[in-house]
């Protein structure tokens, strides 16, 4: 059963949708989504995570859990959406997606409106929906990103990460009309290195594109993070005083302080309308 959520001042809220994406794999998207969800929940927010990574749908494993159903069961008519939502921690729920997310656009008209009716019940149940996308510029990845209110792109010191991040920004800008992106430098050794990555990406984007890149911050490549990720744990939970956990906490605070995110887009209802082809 989904409970109605309220903002900290007691008013009802609209779910903010945020995609976490990248131009290439191996940059730490799932780790970032999982730790951000945990940190936001620690602030009292209710978080819904959509696992949209086609090949590596493993958000549940990061929380030491295993989901029994996925959105594929909703599309096939075996389950209602509320029945596949999997609790991960207090205030954190998961919609296991994987390959099922990419069948959304193939639904019949009846299936689409049935899903949207179920989604309408979620709109006041969560403060945030975090979408873990697959990497790259596949059409399905573009679809998920362009439906979200805020697009967060992860980059790392790997030169190909910057190249692929630029390619993703360029395609989202030229094919989907996206102009605003948030950048997080991951796996960096210092604040200076993180800023340097951001500036390099900005320099190229400013030269060839008409987009706005907002720097959200960096995540340090500390030993605690590597050990936690290797053992499929949340560094924010097992090493809350580590540099990486502090970074995730800082990113969560920045997200929670953004009162309005791209008002040109709607909230969770718009997201599902967009990905299911109704909008």
Domains contained in the chain, number: 1
Q: Tell me how far apart the alpha carbons of residues 148 and 19 are, in angstroms, rounded to a whole number.
A: 6
Residue 245 pLDDT > 90, yes or no?
A: yes
Q: Tell me how far apart the alpha carbons of residues 145 and 94 are, in angstroms, rounded to a whole number.
A: 18
Greater confidence (216 vs 276) lies with 216
- Percentage, residues of the chain above pLDDT 90: 56
Domain that holds residue 189: 16-273
Q: Tell me how far apart the alpha carbons of residues 78 and 29 are, in angstroms, rounded to a whole number.
A: 30
Residue 151 pLDDT > 60, yes or no?
A: yes
Quick one: CA torsion of 37, 16, 246, 238, rounded to 10 degrees? -10
- 230: in domain: yes
Q: What is the pTM of this model?
A: 0.87
Q: Which of 50-64, 127-141, 234-248 has the lowest mean pLDDT?
A: 50-64
Strands 92-96 and 86-89: antiparallel
- Confidence bin at 142 (pLDDT 50/70/90): confident
- 194: in domain: yes
- 134: in domain: yes
- Reported residue count of the chain is 279
Q: Are 85 and 41 in contact (CB under 8 A)?
A: no
pLDDT of residue 6: 44
Q: Residue 70 is encoded by which pair of tokens?
A: 């996925």
Q: Residue 211: give its domain's CATH number.
A: 3.40.50.300
Q: Tell me how far apart the alpha carbons of residues 192 and 233 are, in angstroms, rounded to a whole number.
A: 28
- Confidence bin at 204 (pLDDT 50/70/90): very high
Greater confidence (46 vs 58) lies with 46
Closest CA to 130 of 117, 144, 116: 144
Mean pLDDT of 59-84: 87
185: number of Cβ within 10 Å: 25
Greater confidence (198 vs 142) lies with 198
Residue 8 pLDDT > 90, yes or no?
A: no
- 92: in domain: yes
pLDDT of residue 175: 93
In tens, the pLDDT along 225-244 reads 999 999 999 999 999 999 99
Beta bridge partners of 132: 20, 51
Q: How many angstroms from the chain centroid is the CA of residue 267?
A: 14
Mean pLDDT of 108-119: 74
233 Cβ contact list (under 8 Å, min separation 6): 62, 64
Mean pLDDT of 64-93: 89
- 83: in domain: yes
- 4: in domain: no
């Amino acid at each position: 059963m989904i409970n109605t959520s309220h903002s900290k001042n007691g008013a009802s809220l609209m779910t903010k949708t945020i995609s976490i994406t990248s131009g290439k794999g191996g940059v730490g998207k799932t780790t970032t989504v999982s730790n951000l969800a945990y940190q936001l929940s620690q602030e009292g927010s209710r978080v819904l995570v959509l696992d949209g990574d086609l090949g590596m749908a493993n958000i549940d494993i990061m929380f030491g859990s295993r989901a029994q159903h996925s959105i594929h069961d909703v599309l096939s008519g075996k389950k209602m959406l509320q029945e596949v939502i999997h609790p991960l921690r207090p205030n954190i729920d998961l919609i296991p997606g994987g390959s099922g997310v990419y069948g959304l656009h193939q639904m019949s008209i009846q299936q689409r409106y049935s899903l949207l009716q179920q989604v309408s019940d979620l709109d006041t149940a969560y403060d945030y929906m975090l979408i873990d996308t697959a990497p790259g510029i596949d059409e399905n990845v573009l679809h998920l990103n362009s439906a979200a209110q805020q697009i967060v792109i992860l980059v790392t010191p790997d030169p190909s990460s910057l190249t692929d991040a630029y390619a993703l920004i360029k395609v989202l800008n030229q094919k989907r009309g996206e102009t605003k992106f948030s950048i997080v430098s991951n796996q960096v050794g210092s604040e200076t290195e993180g800023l340097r990555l951001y500036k390099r990406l900005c320099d190229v984007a400013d030269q060839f594109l008409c987009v706005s890149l907002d720097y959200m911050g960096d995540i340090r490549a500390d030993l605690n993070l590597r050990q936690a990720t290797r053992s499929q744990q949340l560094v924010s939970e097992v090493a809350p005083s580590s540099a990486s956990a502090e970074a995730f906490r800082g990113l969560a605070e920045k997200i929670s302080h953004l009162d309005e995110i791209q008002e040109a887009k709607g909230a969770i209802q718009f997201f599902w309308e967009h990905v299911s082809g109704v909008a």
